[in-house]
Structure 1
Amino acid sequence: MEAPQLSQPSDTVEGAVDYKGDPAIRSETGRWRSSGFIIGVEIAERFSYCGIAANLITYLTGPLKQSTVTAAVNVTTWSGVASMLPLLGASVADGYLGRYRTIIFASLLYILGLGLLTLSAMIPSFTPSTCQNNMISCYPPQYQIILFFCSLYLVALAQGGHKPCVQAFGADQFDGQHPEEIKSRSSFFNWWYFGMCGGIVFSNLILTYVQDNLNWGLGFGIPCICMIIAIVVFLLGTKTYRYSFNVDNDNPFRRIGQVFVAAVRNRRASTPQAATVNEEGGGALRGALLIHGANQFRFLDKALATGPENSKEGSPVCSVNQVEEVKALLRVVPIWAACILFAVVDAQSSTFFTKQGATMDRSIGSRFKIPPASLQTFINLSIVIFMPIYDRVLMRIARALTRKPSGLTTLQRIGTGLVISMIAMVVATLVERKRIQTAIDAKIVDIPKAIVPMSIWWLAPQYILFGIADCFTRVGLQEFFYDQMPKALRSVGLALYLSIFGVGSFLSSFLVSIIDKLTSEHGHESWFPNNLYRAHLDYFYSLLVGLSALWFLFYLYFAKSYVYNREYNT
Structure 2
Amino acid sequence: MGIISTSNSQPDDVSEIERVLVDGETVSGAVDYKGRPAIRSASGYWRSASFIIGVEVTERLCYYGIQSNLINYLTERLHQSTATAAKNVNVWVGTASLLPLFGAFFADSYLGRYRTIILASFLYILGLGLLALSASGMLPSTHEFQTIIFFISLYLVALGQAGHKPCTQAFGADQFDENHPKESQERSSFFNWWYFTLCAFCSLTLWVLNYIQDNLSWVLGFGIPCLLMIFGLIIFLLGTKTYRFTINGDENEKKKKKNPFLRIARVFLAAIRNWKRSSPSDIAIKEKTCGTLPHQSSEQFKFLNKALFVTNDSKQNEANCNLIEVEEAKAVLRLLPIWATSLVYGLASAQVPTFFTKQGLTMDRNILLGFQIPPASLQFIIPCAIILFTPFYDFIFVPLARSITNKPFGITMLQRIGIGMFISIITLAIAALIEMRRLKEAKEALLMSVWWLIPQYFLFGIADVFTIVGLQEFFYDQVPNELRSMGVAMYLSVLGVGSLLSSFMIGVIEEVSGKDGGKSWFDDDINEAHIDYFYWLLSGLSLMAFVVYICFAKSYIYGKKGITLE
TM-score (norm 1): 0.91
CA contact (8 A) 1:304 1:316 kept: no
In the alignment, what sits opposite 1:305? 309
1:39-118 to 2 correspondences below 5 Å: 39-118=53-132
Q: Deviations over 1:412-437 (max 9, x none)?
A: 11111011111111110110001000
Q: 1:383 aligns with which of 378, 386, 405?
A: 386
SS of equivalent to 1:566: coil
2:513 maps to 519
**Where in structure 2 are the equivalents of 1:301-340 lying within 5 Å?**
301-309=305-313, 311=314, 317-340=320-343
Aligned letter for 1:356?
Q
**2:27 aligned counterpart, secondary structure:** strand
Give 1:545's aligned amino acid. S
- 1:33 aligned residue: 47
Give the CA deviation at 1:317: 2.3
CA contact (8 A) 2:311 2:320 kept: no
Q: Distance in 2 between matches of 1:10 and 1:486?
A: 29
Aligned residue in 1 for 2:553: 559
CA-to-aligned-CA distance 1:296-345 (integer Å, 9 cap, x gap): 11111222210223x45957522333222211111111110111111111
- 2:264 aligned residue: 256
Query: 1:508 is matched with which residue?
Result: 502
How many angstroms does 1:18 deviate by?
1.0
After the TM superposition, which parts of structure 1 deviate over 6 Å for at least 4 consecutive aligned residues? 7-10
Structure 2 residue aligned with 1:276: 289
Q: Which residues of 2 match residues 116-515 of structure 1 at below 5 A? A: 116-126=130-140, 128=141, 141-246=143-248, 250-270=258-278, 271=283, 273-277=286-290, 285=291, 288-290=292-294, 293-309=297-313, 311=314, 317-442=320-445, 452-515=446-509
Partner amino acid for 2:63?
Y
Partners of 2:364 and 2:80 in 1: CA distance: 23
- Corresponding residue SS for 1:294: helix
Mark the CA change 1:312 to 1:520 in structure 2 (over 3 Å): closer, same or farther: closer
Q: Is the 8 A contact 2:192 2:469 kept in 1?
A: yes
The alpha-carbon deviation at position 481 of structure 1 amounts to 0.3
Whether contact under 8 Å (1:189, 1:478) holds in the other structure is: yes
The 10-residue stretch of structure 1 (11-20 or 492-501) with the greater mean CA deviation from structure 2: 11-20
Q: CA deviation at 1:350?
A: 0.5
**Higher mean C-alpha displacement, 399-408 vs 166-175:** 399-408
For the residues of structure 2 that align with 1:233 and 1:379, how far apart are their CA atoms? 26
**Does structure 1 retain, via aligned residues, the 8 Å contact 2:96–2:159?**
yes
Give the share of equivalent positions with the same residue, in percent.
55
What is the deviation of 1:475? 0.2
Greater Cα offset, 15-24 or 206-215: 15-24
Q: Would the aligned equivalents of 1:86 and 1:159 in 2 still touch at CA under 8 Å?
A: yes
Contact 1:183 1:405 in 2 (8 A): no
Q: Could you say which residue in structure 2 is the equivalent of 1:449?
A: none
- Asked whether the equivalents of residues 23 and 39 of structure 2 are also in contact (C-alpha less than 8 Å), the reply is no
Quote the Cα distance in structure 1 between the aligned partners of 2:74 and 2:54. Answer: 30
Q: Are 2:24 and 2:41, in contact at CA under 8 Å, matched by a contact in 1?
A: no
Change (3 A) 1:74 1:567: closer
Structure 1 residue 5 displacement after superposition: 8.6
Q: Secondary structure at the match of 1:15?
A: strand
Per-residue deviation, 1:147: 0.5
- In the TM superposition, residue 199 of structure 1 has moved relative to its aligned partner by 3.2
1:49 Cα offset (Å) = 0.5
User: How far did 1:568 drift?
Assistant: 5.0
Please state how far the C-alpha of 1:403 moved relative to its aligned partner. Answer: 3.6
SS at match of 2:41: coil
Q: Is the 8 A contact 1:76 1:509 kept in 2?
A: yes
Q: Counterparts of 1:243 and 1:14 in 2: how far apart (Å)?
A: 11
Residue 553 of structure 1 and its aligned partner are, at CA, apart by 0.3
Q: Which of residues 533, 538, 544 is equivalent to 1:544?
A: 538
What is the distance in 1 between the residues matched to 2:562 and 2:28? 19
3-state SS in 1 of match to 2:300: coil
Structure-1 residue corresponding to 2:7: none
> Which digits, 9 at most, give the CA deviation of each residue in 1:180-211, with x for residues without a partner?
11210010000000112123213321110000
Once the two structures are superposed, residues 197-240 of structure 1 have per-residue CA deviations (whole angstroms, 9 ceiling, x without a partner) of 12321332111000000000100000000000001000111111
Cα shift at 1:6? 2.8
Check whether the contact 1:183–1:406 (CA below 8 A) recurs between aligned residues: no
Structure 1 residue 401 displacement after superposition: 3.4
Specify the SS of the correspondent of 1:454. Answer: coil
* Contact 1:303 1:316 survives alignment (8 Å): no
Deviation at 1:125, TM superposition (A): 4.5
Letter in structure 2 aligned against 1:338: T
Number of residue pairs matched? 538
Mapped to 2, the partners of 1:393 and 1:8 lie a distance apart of 41
Residue type matched to 1:527 in 2? W
Worse-superposed segment, 190-199 or 461-470: 190-199
Q: Name the CA shift for 1:314/1:375 in 2 (closer, same or farther; >3 Å).
A: closer
For the residue of structure 1 that corresponds to 2:452, the secondary structure is helix
Per-residue deviation, residues 143-163 of structure 1 (Å, max 9, x unmatched): 111000001001001101100
Q: RMSD of the TM alignment (CA)?
A: 2.0
- Whichever residue aligns with residue 489 of structure 2, its letter is A
SS at match of 1:13: strand
Whole-Å separation in 2 of the counterparts to 1:292 and 1:566 = 13
CA distance in 1, matches of 2:259, 2:562: 30
Q: Distance in 2 between matches of 1:22 and 1:68?
A: 56
8 A contact 1:56–1:75 mirrored in 2 = yes
* AA partner of residue 101 (structure 1): R
The amino acid that maps onto 1:297 is: F
Residue 244 and residue 516 in structure 1: after superposition, are their counterparts in 2 closer, same or farther (change >3 A)?
same
Contact 1:349 1:376 in 2 (8 A): yes
Q: 1:336 to 1:85 in 2, by over 3 A?
A: same
Q: Which consecutive residues of structure 1, in runs of 5 or more, have no partner in the other structure? A: 129-139, 278-284, 443-451
